[in-house]
Amino acid sequence: MNALEACLRQVPYFAALEPGVLRELAGSVRERRYEAGETVLIEGEPCEGLYVVLSGRVKVFKIGIDGKEQILRLLGAGRTCNDVPVFDDGPNPGSVAALEPSRLVLIPKARIRALVERHPQVAAAVIRLLAQRLRALTLMIEDLSLRRVVARVAKLLLDCTRGHSSLVEGEACSQHLTQHQIATMTGSVREVVQRALKALEKDGAIQMQRGRIVVLDPGALERWSQSEM
């Protein structure tokens, strides 16, 4: 198994594919490289296919008419983006940009659909992942509607620490998030998030270390995340 095949094996869709099928898939993809800040795809444009992150990190986001950014998801190695239009023939539902130097591969829509039709395990994995992301979006709406900013920030950091954040896939994230990213993931602005982080630090829940956020007391984060419903 070569390096590309090993990377594709990390993708939930392809984890159960036979070696020969996986090898054939690897031969049909196109690798692309992006620098930090470079756009991978743009919301509203026609969908070319499924993108898989081989290395690095990317963000999926939307921009409001006022120019405000809302991050929908952060993705690390082995994760996919632009899944929905592969199956519904619609345009790209959001934009994607690299957060750091990243390698991605593009798998054409027709290739993914053929795998779904011929391999029930791929179809089952697609259904499972799309259901998980639908649940994640539902939880995001709940957070934005019912929680205040400090509770949203506490919940995001707690989920990242536990390795099951609804907004981050493919890595433990709390130490890698910037204040700007936290703000755009929690529907806030950096100044408000900074005050929330200071409150959490004062309570002993976290510690700020040169741009890194270290979780000291998950129990305290749990209390904060439930305190302002």
> Tens digits of per-residue pLDDT, 54-81?
999 999 999 988 888 988 888 989 999 9
Q: Which residues contact 197 (CB under 8 A, 6 or more apart)?
A: 153, 179, 182, 206, 208, 213
The DSSP string of the chain is --HHHHHHHTSGGGTT--HHHHHHHHTT-EEEEE-TT-EEE-TTSPP-EEEEEEES-EEEEEE-TTS-EEEEEEE-TT-EE-HHHHHH----SSEEEESSSEEEEEEEHHHHHHHHHH-HHHHHHHHHHHHHHHHHHHHHHHHHHH--HHHHHHHHHHHHHHT--SSEESS--GGG--HHHHHHHTT--HHHHHHHHHHHHHTTSEEEETTEEEES-HHHHHHHHHTT-
pLDDT exceeding 70 applies to what percent of the chain?
Answer: 94
Place of tokens 């499924």: 50
The verdict on pTM exceeding 0.75 is yes
The residues of the chain that CATH labels 2.60.120.10 are 3-121
Place of tokens 């023939």: 89
Domain 3-121 CATH superfamily: Jelly Rolls (2.60.120.10)
Using the predicted structure, report yes or no on whether residue 112 has a pLDDT greater than 70.
yes
The per-residue pLDDT for 171 is 61
The per-residue pLDDT for 103 is 95
The per-residue pLDDT for 180 is 87
Q: Are 31 and 144 in contact (CB under 8 A)?
A: no
Q: What are 126-185's pLDDT values in tens digits?
A: 999 999 888 888 888 887 777 889 999 998 888 888 766 667 776 645 557 888 888 988
Lowest mean pLDDT, pick from 13-22, 81-90, 161-170: 161-170
Using the predicted structure, report yes or no on whether residue 205 has a pLDDT greater than 90.
yes
Lowest mean pLDDT, pick from 91-105, 157-171, 198-212: 157-171
Over the chain, what is the mean pLDDT?
89
Q: Other C-beta atoms within 10 Å of 228: how many?
A: 13
Place of tokens 């002993």: 204
Q: Which residue would you say has higher pLDDT here, 142 or 14?
A: 14
The per-residue pLDDT for 172 is 47
The per-residue pLDDT for 167 is 72
**What is the architecture, at CATH level 2, of domain 147-226?**
Orthogonal Bundle (1.10)
The per-residue pLDDT for 175 is 56
Helices 109-118, 19-26: axis angle to 10 degrees equals: 170
